[in-house]
Structure 1
Amino acid sequence: MAPGQLRRAGAARSGLRTWSRLHTWSSLVCTLFLLLLCLTGLPLIFHEEIGHWTGSEVEAPAMPSGTPRADLDAVVAAAMAQRPGEVVQYLIWEEDPDILRLSMAPSPTAPPTALTTVLVDARTARVLAEPRDREGFLYWMLRLHADLFLGIPGKLFLGVMGLLFVLAIVSGAVLYGPFARHGRFGTVRRGRSARLRWLDLHNILGVVTLSWALVVGATGVVNTLAEQVIALWRIDQLAEMIAPWKGQPPVAAPGSVQAAVTAAMAAAPGQEPFFVAWPQTMFTSPHHYGVFLRGDRPVTHRLLTPALVDAETGRLAALRAPPWYVQALLLSQPLHFGDYGGMPLKLAWGVLDLVTIVVLGSGLWLWLRRRREGRA
């Protein structure tokens, strides 16, 4: 072999050793946490179906098709009568169009932990239930999956684990490249040790799930930054939108929420309301209703456009599409859980989640087996 070829071969081997170290240690650091995320994420993929099966999902009573919607002010009045002395912070349109979710709190500035949910029939303005959102199997799974019960520090920690997972995926693909180029893609070497067979299976399953794992890992990292993204939007775009009202006192008694929603929808044809934030909450100003609109088609259903409506006069004050970093967050959430394509996509997400559990578990077993063989 010529000297130049020897140098190139040596550089290639050195590069592969570096990638091998990156793959080994990035995988080892994040594997146990990724296993936890995969195990807790599996029931969350099917959270709606589990809710219906356990009876925790509230369903609206059957009514003739085309039954008109109740006035939103009547809906708000029903919720406030259900919980006297409390105020509404948010009004949310559920996936079931016949149900409206209202978040009640002791005051407009109360923290999220103080919120209580009231579900109201969107057609009759009758209270359906007060679901207990902070208990039950799915609540514990969500908290474990989202922040390990540690709040924002837990989310940021899981975000770092997600970045290591992405590094492990990329480095694993680089290491498998030379093996596949020799025509051995998908090969499971039989007649050899159990460790070699599991190594081949680990590599094959890792390559098969590579694209999905990258998408889920990357979107999971983005989701851990939700609070930071919202804070950036508040000091950036929201601050510009409410600048003319800076220094004005908070609205003491907000006016008609129905008028606010009507004004926002008139300014954005082809969009429908997703949620309304009352004045003094984190998604608006002390002087405005924040009406968040979304597209009425599957492609645009996850993209939100905030509209600020003067809470005293009911007139539109500002309407602006959110910046790219908010759009990235909004798109990452449905991609992460696969809940935008119905049951077929959920099943695909569930199968790929199970395969990823096998990949993570086999990788940990291979490392432990190799250490034992090295000591022997």
Structure 2
Amino acid sequence: MRYWYKIHKWVSLICAIFFLLLCITGLPLLFKQEISNYNSLQNTEKVQRTASYAELWSAVNAGERLIQQQYPHKIIKAITAEPSEGRILFRLAGRDDKENGAGLHLGMGSQIAYYPQDNMLFDWNSEKVKYAALADFMHEMHVWHIRMGLGKDAMLFLGFMCFLSLICLISGLFIYKAFMKRTYFAEIDKRNSLSKYFGWHKFLGIISATWAALLCFSGIMIVLFAFGYNAYMHTASMAAVNSLSGTAKYNGSFSQAFVFMQQKYPQRNILAVEFPDRKNNNQYIFSITDKEFSASRLKAQLAFVGEDTKGQLQSFTEPMPLYLSLAGKLMDLHLYNHNNIVLKIIWAVLDIITIIVILTGIIGWGKKKFSLVAGNADFSAFSLGVLSKRMIWQIPLIVMGLSLLAMLLPLPVFGRWGTVVAIVLWDIVFLIGIYHYLRNR
């Protein structure tokens, strides 16, 4: 137990600032869509209508014609369907070689959103906002949250900090029993300020432990996926070159290639398409995924389409490695299980609770060190009774079990009712905490 305590203390001191940074920057990002809608001068009602993949892809030709009319000097480099927003994203590039090659995964070129239900184009590069400072603030929060304001390599360091934070949370559970032998769950020891800080640290730590642990774990998965997917794209591209080495430059239309892919992969959703150019060996690159897991283009399998010398369409796809598919599903715990505004508010409360846990731990550690050095620690008020293991762990295990279910049920695979049940479970968790706090005051 002594070693677990040392691990918890020193690992906490190492990663506390970084964990605190993630919590602080993540708080406004929970409401980034709502803030963006509020700050945008665009008619936000038009971006809230949902549509199916089939509806969006059937409207691509209409969007393409509109783009050709309004952007005659641009060419389409990539198309992405976003059913949750009811829109199609066209990535455009200039016709000259310098600007060409701004494909789907490179994130270059201008991006135009097309809303089929309104037959309207919206240029994201010229978006007008009410408050530029607010938009800049949200951008900075995003940059600091994913890579601490540094380059992409900082994601590795941040992933390591997530790992240390996870170790910190796990070690905290191992030492929880030793510090709760004479204290009931949610009972705040008020003998002195040191006991009070650690009392809040232990109580609120249990409330937010599962939430924080899963976010740290899924944060590690995000970093793993980000670097692994880049390697997968390179491997898939090289394999496609070898497999389709006999194909000539593709001269067919996008519609032909799209229908070909629909027929070849009827059980898949097509999330995005990158158009042929020199950099992708003059082939279409389709991002496809199982229909049950279509939340993000970033998790899609790549499929390449080209034409052989006889004009027949040929395709090649490289399955994603198992570890990458698993990481892609696990990072949904970080990204796609709080899309409901009520869940966002709940997550904000949990975020604030976690910030309090971190701060009370730091302050408590400082006060403990001062008290021990000065000889001011007061241990005279300890209860003589020792709680059983069952009494120590019963409520915390119930809280953590309910929290785990509340984190899993909002995932897209469980549908709307999963979200409803998750909200109820979080309410129960909070009520348990409030009830025991009031009972043991």
TM score, norm. by length of structure 1: 0.80
Cα distance per residue 1:94-129 (max 9 Å; x no partner): 244531112234211579464322112235764233
Are residues 199 and 286 of structure 1, via their aligned partners in 2, closer, same or farther at CA, if it must alter by over 3 Å?
A: same
Contact 1:337–1:349, Cα closer than 8 Å, also in 2 = no
SS in 1 for 2:303: strand
- The structural deviation recorded for 1:62 is 10
Q: 1:235 to 1:273 in 2, by over 3 A?
A: closer
Secondary structure at 1:263's aligned position in 2? helix
Q: Is the 8 A contact 2:102 2:109 kept in 1?
A: no
Query: Does the alignment pair 1:60 with 2:74?
Result: no
Q: Aligned partner of 1:21: which letter?
A: K
Matching of residue 88 in structure 1 with residue 76 in structure 2: yes
Does the aligned pair in 2 maintain the 1:159–1:221 contact within 8 Å? Answer: yes
- The corresponding residue for 1:372 is 370
Q: Do structure 1's residue 107 and structure 2's residue 107 form an aligned pair?
A: no
Worse-superposed segment, 29-38 or 218-227: 218-227
Could you tell me whether the CA contact under 8 Å between 1:256 and 1:314 is conserved in 2?
no
Residue pairs, 1:198-347, within 5 angstroms = 198-246=197-245, 251=249, 255-279=252-276, 285-297=280-292, 301=295, 304-310=300-306, 315-339=313-337, 342-347=340-345
Residue 371 of structure 1 aligns with an amino acid whose one-letter code is K
> Residue 300 of structure 1: CA displacement?
5.5
Tell me which amino acid in the other structure corresponds to 1:54.
Answer: N
Q: Which residue of 2 aligns with 1:17?
A: 2
Q: How far did residue 92 of structure 1 move? A: 1.3
Q: Do the aligned partners of residues 272 and 190 (structure 1) sit closer, same or farther apart at CA in structure 2, a change above 3 Å counting?
A: same
Change (3 A) 1:267 1:185: farther
Residue 216 of structure 1: CA displacement? 0.4
Displacement of 1:340: 5.6
Rounded Cα–Cα distance in structure 2 between residues aligned with 1:333 and 1:257: 32
The question of whether the paired residues in 1 share the 8 Å contact of 2:113 and 2:124 is answered with yes
- Residues matched between the structures, number: 354
- Whichever residue aligns with residue 358 of structure 1, its letter is I
- Name the amino acid aligned to 1:129: D
Cα separation, 1, equivalents of 2:286 and 2:156: 29
Deviation at 1:74, TM superposition (A): 4.5
Q: How many Å separate the matches in 2 of 1:196 and 1:341?
A: 38
Question: Counterpart in 2 of 1:361?
Answer: 359
Change in 2 beyond 3 A, CA 1:24/1:179: closer
2:286–2:303 CA contact under 8 A, matched in 1: yes
Alignment correspondent of 2:405: none
8 Å Cα contact 2:247/2:306 also seen in 1: no
1:178-201 CA deviation, whole Å, 9 max, x = no partner?
345x47451534341111122122
CA contact 1:90–1:103 (8 Å) conserved in 2: yes
CA–CA distance in structure 1, aligned partners of residues 239 and 272 of structure 2: 21
% identical aligned pairs: 21
Is 1:128 the counterpart of 2:114? The answer is no
Counterparts of 2:278 and 2:178 in 1: how far apart (Å)? Answer: 55
Alpha-carbon distance, 1:162 to partner: 0.8
Q: How does 1:139-154 map to 2 (within 5 A)?
A: 139-154=139-154
Matched residue, 1:195: 194
Worse-matched range after superposition: 346-355 or 334-343: 334-343
Structure 1: distance between partners of 2:278 and 2:179: 56
Whether the 8 Å CA contact 1:90–1:104 is kept in 2: the answer is yes
- What CA distance in whole angstroms lies between the structure 2 residues aligned with 1:73 and 1:225? 37
Give unmatched runs, 5+ long, in structure 2: 94-98, 375-441
The 1:356–1:61 alpha-carbon spacing in structure 2 relative to 1, beyond 3 Å, is closer
SS at match of 2:189: coil
**2:158 aligned partner:** 158
2:138 matched residue in structure 1: 138
| Aligned-partner Cα distance in 2 for 1:215–1:314 | 48
Q: Does the Cα contact within 8 Å between 2:76 and 2:275 map onto a contact in 1?
A: yes
Whole-angstrom CA distance in 1 between matches of 2:174 and 2:230: 37
Cα distance in 1 between the residues matched to 2:70 and 2:184: 63
Task: Write the distance in 2 (CA, Å) between the matches of 1:360 and 1:198.
Answer: 11
User: 344-353 vs 26-35, which deviates more?
Assistant: 344-353
Q: Which residue of 2 aligns with 1:13?
A: none
Flag the 1:153–1:305 CA change in 2: closer, same or farther, 3 A. Answer: closer
- Give the structure-2-normalised TM-score: 0.69
Q: Which amino acid aligns with 1:244?
A: S
- Aligned CA RMSD, in angstroms, stands at 3.5
Query: Per-residue deviation at 1:22?
Result: 1.4
**C-alpha distance in structure 1 between counterparts of 2:41 and 2:335, whole Å:** 20
Give the residue type in structure 1 aligned to 2:321: P
